[in-house]
Amino acid sequence: MIMRVMGEGQFRVGDDHLNHLNQLDDELLTALEAGDEEHFRAALGKLLDAVKQYGTPLPDDALEPSDLILPNVEATIAEVTEMLRSEGDGLIPGLPE
């Protein structure tokens, strides 16, 4: 799966890491729902760090479509909430059953 972090580029992340990324996404959702700015910042940072840790960066000139787009680390609660409205249940999709 190719994930774009806004302003930072694209990362190819294997399906074997999606469960962990979904757990981090759930933590982010909990912080958003609570309106907890400090928890939100920490959860967003952990999610983006994990994408970069598990993902392989694509070259800047790669023309591959992104499967999903993630906010950058400086995104606000309002910006991420708006992104979630278009994504459904979280930023990271779950694996099919």
In the chain, domain spans: 2-87
Q: What pLDDT does residue 75 have?
A: 95
Alpha-carbon distances of 51 from 31, 38, 64, 73, 75, rounded to whole Å: 19, 20, 17, 12, 16
Average pLDDT of the residues in 11-25 = 94
Residue-wise pLDDT tens digits, 42-89: 999 999 999 999 999 999 888 789 999 999 999 999 999 888 776 656
Q: What pLDDT does residue 85 have?
A: 74
d(CA 49, CA 60): 19
Indicate the pTM of the whole model: 0.86
Within 10 A of 95 (CB to CB), how many other CB atoms are there?
9
Q: What pLDDT does residue 92 have?
A: 72
Q: Which residues pair with 57 in a beta bridge?
A: 11
